[in-house]
Amino acid sequence: MPLAVRGLLGVSVRCCSHFHRLVPRSRSRWGSAARLYSNKSKEVEKLVICVEGNIASGKTTCLEYFANSCNIETLTEPVPKWRNIWNHNLLALMYEDPSRWAITLQTYVQLTMLQQHILPQTVPVRMIERSIYSAKYVFVENHYRSSTMPAVDYAVLTEWFNWIVTNVHIPIDLIVYLQTTPETCQERLKSRCRTEEKVIPLEYLEALHQLYEDWLIRETSFTVPAPVLVIPADHDVQKMLKQYEDQKEKILYPFCKRSST
């Protein structure tokens, strides 16, 4: 039976397995609609949404759609930085020899994702591609479990990550999880133009998918920092755009409502 739950932004969301689910978290910050205005200053607060998903799950398409909606700032993954740090392509090096370069890349990923999170926000809504949490809980974890990252490297990154999330305010109000099968991601990778990704095997995508599911769906691995909106994303672009259109007001309310008046 479908279950009506009180949504993140104060609207009733109908949960259906064939469409999407809003997964509540006990430690999440609920009632975002109620805190959009400060009781003292009446100043509009900011909304931060992270779009999560496997490689080639459609995150960029999602951000591009919402970039044209309301007054929204979108921050894509800082891949150009990973591909060129002082003329070194860390992303390519990691895929070529993960045992040697995983710690180097993931250290830089953690830094650059932190920079995304703490960048001053000047508009009501910000959407970020992935987060410092998925960098650690999915990608670093996968390196460690697959033995491409030694235990000592994993320990150092974990210590850094724990210090960051304890001492730095990283606001996230909603996670939009684009849920795809590894097979769909592999097919999409074939049509992309990133040369570094040509060496990605299906097994790697399957491992990332499992970690995403353990984290955001089954909650068997790590703490989820915000409510999760699950959107099935195996569909073609046009159907995905239709889903984003249907979901827009629920995700962005009341910002879309205010901007249209």
Domain CATH for 63? 3.40.50.300
SS (H, E, C) 97-159: CHHHHHHHHHHHHHHHHHHHHHCCCCCCEEEEECCHHHHHHHHHHHHHHCCCCCHHHHHHHHH
Report the distance separating Cα 128 and Cα 208, nearest Å: 19
Please give the structure tokens belonging to residue 137: 């809980």
Q: What b/e readout covers 67-76, taking b as 16+ CB neighbours within 10 angstroms? A: eebbebbbbb
pLDDT by position in tens, the chain (length 261): 333 333 333 332 323 333 334 544 433 333 343 343 333 344 557 899 999 999 999 999 999 999 987 778 999 999 999 999 999 999 999 999 999 999 999 999 999 999 999 999 989 999 999 999 999 999 999 999 999 999 999 999 999 999 999 999 999 999 999 999 999 999 999 888 777 787 899 999 999 999 999 999 999 889 999 999 999 999 999 999 999 999 888 788 645 554 444
Between CA 239 and CA 217 the distance in angstroms is: 23
Total structural domains within the chain: 1
In the residue annotation, 141 being an active-site residue is answered as no
71 half-sphere exposure, CB direction, 13 A CA radius: 12
Integer Cα distance of 230 and 216 in angstroms:
9
The string of DSSP letters for 185-197 reads HHHHHHT---GGG
Structure token pair of residue 211: 């970690």
Domain holding 251, by residue range, is: 3-259
User: Which of 129, 183, 213, 219 is the catalytic position?
Assistant: 129
